[in-house]
């Protein structure tokens, strides 16, 4: 029986992963850098600058640190403009009801996201005050697959990693959970990850896993 559940944000609680892709795609297309949905899989759960480095592996020239900083900012501006269209309707009934039921069952619930936009997104979907703790890109120095973001989340809710489960859609996130000593439940792409403790087809499967 777990005491805490730590949720990744993009691709688990809501579908902002689509907006990350659109924003990176625009940046890559404008510079003639090949980038598609397959390349995008490697960016899930990875920080903004590390994501840019992965995209630039296919660029035909080197970019200076200054250029890279500007590109990361440009991508974030595009991404944040896309977030402006989000509202409470972008939180599905399934996710909302499952979270409520897990709360009723007595679990401590936390966010463990690499994103520096986490609080903006939670506000948009009406979950600002819902979670017991938020660990995100603003309180870490190393992004997934390093376990720091989840270890901080466990610390914030006062629980040991062995008593917490991580819910993730990214291979980097499942790796991070393993490295931190957490059990994990994989959804989406991460459902196929052999290192995940549980495989989910849909978010409400958590009600079977966390009884």
The CB-of-174 to Mg ion minimum distance in angstroms stands at 11
Instruction: Give the nearer residue to Mg ion in terms of CB position, either 59 or 189.
Output: 189
Binding residue (CB under 6 A) for ligand B16 from 78, 98, 113, 184? 113
Q: How far apart are CA 201 and CA 33, in angstroms?
A: 34
Total number of residues that touch Mg ion (CB under 5 A): 5
124 forms part of the interface with ligand B16 (CB under 6 A) = no
The residues, any chain, with a CB within 8 Å of residue 136's CB and separated by 6 or more, are: 9, 111, 112, 113, 114, 115, 116, 118, 119, 149
193 forms part of the interface with ligand B16 (CB under 6 A) = no
HEC letters along 57-114: CCCCCCCCHHHHHHHHHHHHHHHHHHHCCCCHHHCCHHHHHHHHHHHHCCCEEEEECC
Instruction: Give the nearer residue to Mg ion in terms of CB position, either 28 or 46.
Output: 46
51 forms part of the interface with ligand B16 (CB under 6 A) = yes
175 forms part of the interface with Mg ion (CB under 5 A) = no
Largest Cα–Cα distance in the chain?
54
Rounded to whole angstroms, what are the CA distances from 92 to 9, 79, 82, 87, 192? 13, 21, 18, 11, 23
Q: Scanning the structure block, which residue is given the tokens 């990744």? A: 8
10 forms part of the interface with Mg ion (CB under 5 A) = yes
Residue nearest to ligand B16 (CB): 113
Closest CA to 76 of 125, 123, 120: 120
136 forms part of the interface with Mg ion (CB under 5 A) = no
26 forms part of the interface with ligand B16 (CB under 6 A) = no
10 forms part of the interface with ligand B16 (CB under 6 A) = yes
44 forms part of the interface with ligand B16 (CB under 6 A) = yes
115 forms part of the interface with ligand B16 (CB under 6 A) = yes
Residue length, the chain? 211
| Tokens linked to 132 | 């017991």
Enumerate the active-site residues.
8, 10
Of 9-17, 84-92, 189-197, 198-206, the segment contacting ligand B16 by CB under 6 A is 9-17
| Tokens linked to 50 | 């590390």
Binding residue (CB under 5 A) for Mg ion from 4, 11, 145, 161? 11
> Which residues in this chain contact Mg ion in the complex, by CB under 5 A?
8, 10-11, 169-170
């Amino acid at each position: 029986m777990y005491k805490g559940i730590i949720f990744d944000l993009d691709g688990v609680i809501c579908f902002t992963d689509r907006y990350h892709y659109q924003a990176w795609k625009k940046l890559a297309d404008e510079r003639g850098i090949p980038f598609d949905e397959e390349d995008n899989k490697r960016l899930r759960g990875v920080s903004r600058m590390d994501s840019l480095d992965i995209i630039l592996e296919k660029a035909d020239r080197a970019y200076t640190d200054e250029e890279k900083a500007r590109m990361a900012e440009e991508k974030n501006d595009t991404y944040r403009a896309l977030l402006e269209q989000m509202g409470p309707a972008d939180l599905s009934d399934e996710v909302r009801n499952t979270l409520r039921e897990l709360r009723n069952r007595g679990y401590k619930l936390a966010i463990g996201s690499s994103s520096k936009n986490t609080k903006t997104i939670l506000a948009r979907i009406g979950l600002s005050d819902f979670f017991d703790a938020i660990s995100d890109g603003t309180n870490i120095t190393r992004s997934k697959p390093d376990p720091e973001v989840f270890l901080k989340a466990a610390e914030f809710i006062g629980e040991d990693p062995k008593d917490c489960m991580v819910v993730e859609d990214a291979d980097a996130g499942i790796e991070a959970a393993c490295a931190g000593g957490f059990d994990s439940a994989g959804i989406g792409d991460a459902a196929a990850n052999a290192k995940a403790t549980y495989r989910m087809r849909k978010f409400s499967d958590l009600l079977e896993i966390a009884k």
